[in-house]
Amino acid sequence: PRGPIDSDFEEFNPFAVNTRRLPAYRRIDLAGQYTFQWRQISGDVGLSIFNVLNFRNIQSRHYATVLTELPEDGQEEGEYELQELEITSLGITPNIFLNLRF
């Protein structure tokens, strides 16, 4: 929506309503691990890849008012626009690990 913002309306909290409207969270992970023994040291080495298919998952939605036009002479307020901000999860995320036991 465009237009002036009512200054009596101080807070817009959409979290309870909009969390039910987020798309389904989808993610496929792969992992592999190798256990080894070398002299007096044992350990594990491995690789994992999170979100292998690179799904775009929305974690949350926030809303912000953004000033789009500065106030002109004689006006108290400028023009504001309500913008939706989507926070997304990471895409493909590789991890390598090494665990040593002495």
Tens-place pLDDT, residues 12-53: 565 556 556 788 899 999 999 999 999 999 999 999 999 999
Question: Does the pLDDT at position 10 exceed 90?
Answer: no
pLDDT score at 1: 47
- DSSP code for 18: H
Other Cβ atoms less than 10 A from the Cβ of 5: the count is: 17
Looking at the structure of the chain, the number of domains it has is 1
pLDDT score at 8: 56
pLDDT score at 85: 86
pLDDT score at 72: 77
Instruction: Enter the pTM of the model.
Output: 0.62
- Structural domain of residue 31, as residue ranges? 2-101
Tens-place pLDDT, residues 60-98: 888 888 888 887 777 777 788 888 888 999 999 999 999
- Say whether 78 sits in a helix, a strand or coil: coil
